[in-house]
Each structure stands twice: as structure tokens, then as C-alpha cells.
Amino acid sequence: MNYVFILNPAAGKNKTALSMIPHIQKACGKAGLKYQIHISESGEDITAYVKMLCADSTKKYRFYAFGGDGTLNQVVNGCAGMKNAEVGVFPLGTGNDFIRNFNVDKKDFFDLEKQLFSKSVKTDTIVYNGKHCINICNMGFDANTAVDMPKFKKIPVIGNSMAYNLSIAYNVCKKLGRPMEIWADDRLLFRGNTLMCAVSNGIACGGGFMVTPRATTNDGLIDVNVTLPPSRVKLPLFIKNFSNGTQYEDPAMKKYIRYAQCKKVTVKGVKPFALVNDGEAEYLTEVTFEISPGSINFIVPKGRD
């Protein structure tokens, strides 16, 4: 087994990813493991590097992404579907939402020994336009919030949570909703003014907002949640429910939610809309998502047997 540590130098404060190098060297040296450290230059660099290694099917690799959901996504896009690869993450990013899908304390993801010797579990990904998403693809309000968040992170003394909340407030001041058409397994789920649409393998995005709380990462299904725009006075109700993951149980939310589990989702917009894939943004007018069952072996840190 070859252990590969992918470090995103931009992740975390005070160069947190780079500060892990001595710990990696010590842990791997003590365990007598064959390892290498790759300091990324860009997202494309990470994906290309992982693909290059995985091309040799005679070797097995464990990749550890030191960064946020975006860094994890870039590693995933380099090895999805490869039988000789496993993927783990040290969550150093802004949201770190993918790890919320597992009943594991966040501190365990920072435990090198647990990461090195834990087993992996089969995990689905969502595929669109040749790209993989391991957690959630967002469109609409939550995508726009993620796109605008970096504007507020640049402000001194503004932390990640405050930056996200400020971005929410900023987008609340804009027009809520835009015309969209969403199909689930070739069945029209909704056509009309849409506040947001989440196409999900995982449960949370935006640093803990439970947009699809019923999602499971290994059930071979996409969870799609379409939310209709409310009046602004109703927004506190929305924030409360999406923070707690109770939007499907609250009767007051029923008329605003369209939800389905399926294997394929198509989203169409009248104008280009922002699509945020595990934190990475692009603009499209139409996109089709499909589930790719068990395409990633994800390392869940639970210690040795």
C-alpha cells in the first residue's frame, strides 16, 4: 500500500496543511509505511496527479486530502471508479460538510494513526458533465451564498461562520428565486420560481445546513430537494428548519418543499445559474446528474480493530 498525502497550502489558517508535514513524517516513519507528500498548486494539479498515480493498476493507494470539501472533491475526481484507490480527508476547510455524514467525532479525522489504519467504506458519487460530486451540488440561493462568501472572508476578523451568515444576509436583499425546471428520473418534479435546488449524496452544506437530512452516501440514490421562495418574513422559519434538518417534518414548510429520491436529475434554467459542486462554482443553463454507486472507497477513522 502506498500512502499519498495531498496538501492544499491555502486550507486552514496559518498554513495548517503545511504544518502537518512533520507529523506525517513521524507517523509514517514509526509505522514503516511507504508514503509521499504532494503540495498542490491548483485543483487541476491535484486531480491530474491522483489520476497519474492510479493509472498503474498494479499498485494500491491511500490518498489523504488535507483541506476542505473542495480539496476532497479534487482527489475524488482523480480516482473515482478506481479499484486500487481509497480516499480520506483531514478537514481543514471552511465547511467540512462531507464528514457530517458519518457518526464520527471531527477530532478523529485529525488523528493520523486512526486515519492510517482505519478501513474504508463504499461511497457513491454524483456525476455530471464528466465530473464527480461526493457531497452536494447546490443551485439557487445556497449556491449564490457560497459564491459570495469569499467577499466577506477577506474582511479582517471575519471568521468562516460569520462570513457565511453575512453572505446569506447579502443574498436575502436580492430577488428571491428564479425560473427553473427540475426533473427526477424523467418525471417533472417542479417547474417555476425556485429559491434553491440541492442535488445530494450527503446531508449538509454551507457549514452544517441540513439541506437533505435523509440522504445516505451509499444507497445508490440521489436526494433532490427543491425549495420554493417564501416571503422575506418567512426566512427565519426556513433558516431554523434547514439548520436543524426538520424541513420535512414541519407542516409550515410543506408547501415550499419538493423532495425526491432518484437515480437521475435534470435541471434547466431560463438564464445561467450558479452550480456549486462541493464548494467549487461554475455557471450552466442545463445539467443532468446521475448516481455512480460505490465509486469511492472512503476512509472512516475508527481506529484499529
**Res. 148 pLDDT band, cuts 50 70 90:** confident
Phi-psi region of 185 (alpha: psi -120 to 50; beta: other; left: phi over 0): left
Strands 264-277 and 280-299: antiparallel
**Structural contact between residues 119 and 300, judged by C-beta atoms closer than 8 angstroms:** yes
When pLDDT is averaged across residues 157-182 and rounded to a whole number, the result is 81
**Structural contact between residues 238 and 227, judged by C-beta atoms closer than 8 angstroms:** yes
Q: Which residue has the cell 496543511?
A: 17
Of 46, 38, 37, whose CA–CA distance to 71 is shortest?
46
Summarize pLDDT for 75-122 with one digit per residue, the tens: 999 999 999 999 999 998 877 999 999 999 999 999 999 999 999 999
Cα–Cα distance between 78 and 71 in angstroms, integer?
Answer: 11
- This prediction has a pTM of 0.91
Q: What is the DSSP string of 45-86?
A: HHHHHHHHHHT-TTS-EEEEEEE-HHHHHHHHHHHTT-TTEE
* Domains, the chain, with CATH or none: 2-128+295-299 (3.40.50.10330), 136-291 (2.60.200.40)
Instruction: Give every CB contact of residue 276 below 8 A, 6+ residues apart in sequence.
Output: 137, 138, 139, 142, 143, 146, 147, 205
**Structural contact between residues 73 and 133, judged by C-beta atoms closer than 8 angstroms:** yes
Summarize pLDDT for 1-59 with one digit per residue, the tens: 999 999 988 765 555 889 899 999 999 999 999 999 999 888 789 999 999 999 999 99
**Burial class of 69 by CB neighbour count within 10 A (0 to 12, 13 to 18, 19+):** buried
When pLDDT is averaged across residues 122-146 and rounded to a whole number, the result is 93
CA distances (Å), origin 151, targets 10, 80, 95, 144: 16, 32, 16, 12
> pLDDT value at position 193?
96
For 192, half-sphere exposure in the C-beta direction (CA atoms, 13 angstrom radius) is 9
Instruction: Tell me which H or E stretch contains 11.
Output: none
Summarize pLDDT for 245-257 with one digit per residue, the tens: 999 999 999 999 9
- Helix then strand count (H, E) for the chain reads 8, 14
Strands 61-67 and 2-7: parallel
